Amino acid sequence: MPEIPAVSRRSMLGGTLATGAVVAGLGSAAGAAAATSAAPSAAGAEASAPGRRPGQKSMINVPFEEYRTVRVGVIGLGNRGSGMTTGWSVIPGCVVTAVCDIRADRAERTADGLVADGMPRPAEYGGSADAYAKMLRRDDIDLVYIATPWEFHYEQGKAALLSGKHVVVELPIATEVSELWDLVDTSERTRKNLMLSENCSYGRNELAMLKMAHEGLFGDVTNGHGGYLHDLRELLFSDTYYTDAWRRRWHTRSTASFYAMHGLAPIAAAMDINRGDRMTTLKATATAPKGLADYRERFIPKSHPSWRETYINGDLVSCAIETARGRTIRAEHDVSSPRPYSRINSLAGSRGIFEDYAGTSTTGGRIYVEPDHGGHSWRDFDAYRKEFDHWLWKKLGDEAENGGHGGMDYILQWRTVQLMRAGLVPDIDVYDSASWCAPVPLSVMSLEKEGRPVAVPDFTRGSWVNLRSGLDSRSTDMPPVS
């Protein structure tokens, strides 16, 4: 059963979203036209949306089939994939039935690890770049989880959909606009869901921020700021961390916002992107590429293979995004400068503002909302997070905190399995996934045009005007495991 959209205080506040999407009852072709005329810059993107093939239909609000047990096949067993494999295996009603890595020893090591933990031994695939295709022929896999380097995500995600399986893909799902469209179309044709593995959207602060936005605490939300600011220099130059230094090599290929999704997605969710609003244009700027070369000069021996590389990606790549409802989002990416970690997570509107990674409180967040606050000084977020704690964290917080990334991984995996077992609509669908990843290629396009705006495709093909639930879900139980 599809979940019922959350009723929010937005309509009582008379926000633009309510005015446009709910009160006027938009969602029809007329609604789409009205919304488009309010956002002329989006017209080009909508016009360029490829047509659907006969019989191809939207995946919006399409629930999962009800699975008694969710059987997972994993592709890519490095840092991320091996940890997440353990994660899938401990979720109630979930079993890992197959694992694959181009390096066969990693498949064997992962299978051994599951057995040591008391889990059934999964089938192992490896030894060649297309071993995953053999794994996809199995009929005991319902969900494929992909944690390979970025260059393989599109091809492997598409193949998984074509094999009749649902897919969770690590960030980004693809790096070209044409590939993003192809994944949307392939999901619509195969009737299978493809979801970005956007664990940070399940973060405790992020979900509380979302609830507060939807309950009107910030008034009309006007702007947000998020990103991925993570000093990865040591790991990028490590000979053992990223296999074959795949992540560093991306910095030799293009100037792009490779990985801003962890900060962009929570802002997009709070703004109901694809659920009442949509991103229309993107402008990018990039600093000079200094950080990696400087680090190499100081710490890496001249005999290291990295000395044959030239880094071209800007250290800080910033995207300024406009939405159809007149909001703005700043999305940033920097993994090559010295700085403490931050995803920024800032959301602001006519009645207040939240900022993460800024306060001294235990939650790390700070807040200022009217009428509670005045005097131009920030307040701790703690009491607000307690009040607006998302049901997933209230229910799972204690067990989640033993998992990766402060519990976000556990929440994402538990919720995905629950959605599939209970036959619910995914919180993150293929349209969200494509939209959140679109800044990767769009930042390249804008930078090639000296920062001029480029149109953001409307992957929903006009359905974004309909307000619907997503990460702001209602509390439901995990079906019992028999």
Q: Which is nearer to ligand NAD, 259 or 464 (CB)?
A: 259
Q: Which of 28, 79, 238, 362 binds ligand NAD (CB under 6 A)?
A: 79
Q: Which is nearer to ligand NAD, 148 or 190 (CB)?
A: 148
Q: 102 to 131, contacts with ligand NAD by CB under 6 A?
A: 102-103, 106, 129
What is the DSSP secondary-structure string of 375-441?
Answer: TT--EESHHHHHHT--HHHHHHHHHHTTSSGGGHHHHHHHHHHHHHHHTPPPSS-HHHHHHHHTHHH
Q: Which is nearer to ligand NAD, 170 or 458 (CB)?
A: 170
Residues 6+ apart with CB under 8 A from 10: 17, 18, 214, 216
Q: Which of 170, 185, 277, 458 binds ligand NAD (CB under 6 A)?
A: 170
Segment lying near ligand NAD (by CB under 6 A), choices 36-44, 60-68, 74-82, 367-375? 74-82
User: Residue 242 interacts with ligand NAD (CB under 6 A)?
Assistant: yes
Q: Which of 22, 42, 72, 75 binds ligand NAD (CB under 6 A)?
A: 75
Smallest separation (angstroms) from ligand NAD to the CB of 57: 30
Smallest separation (angstroms) from ligand NAD to the CB of 199: 5
Centre a 10 Å sphere on the Cβ of residue 307 and count the other Cβ atoms it contains.
11
Segment lying near ligand NAD (by CB under 6 A), choices 9-17, 18-26, 61-69, 141-149? 141-149
Token output for 225: 């700021």
- For residues 192 to 231, the per-residue mask of contacts with ligand NAD, x marking binding by CB under 6 A and - elsewhere, is -----x-x--------------------------------
Longest dimension (CA), the chain: 66
Whether the CB-CB separation of 237 and 335 falls below 8 Å is answered with: no
Q: Which is nearer to ligand NAD, 128 or 350 (CB)?
A: 128
Report which of 75, 240, 85 is spatially closest to residue 148, judged by C-alpha positions: 75
Angle of helix 204-214 relative to helix 391-400, nearest 10 degrees, comes to 170
Q: How far is CA 122 from CA 29, 169, 421, in A?
A: 48, 20, 21
User: Residue 463 interacts with ligand NAD (CB under 6 A)?
Assistant: no
Residues 6+ apart with CB under 8 A from 151: 175, 246
Which residue's C-beta sits nearest to ligand NAD? 78
User: Residue 152 interacts with ligand NAD (CB under 6 A)?
Assistant: yes
Interatomic CA distance for residues 232 and 262, integer angstroms: 15
Interatomic CA distance for residues 245 and 247, integer angstroms: 6
Smallest separation (angstroms) from ligand NAD to the CB of 149: 6
- Residues near ligand NAD, by CB under 6 A: 75-81, 100-103, 106, 129, 132, 147-150, 152, 170-171, 197, 199, 242-243, 246, 405
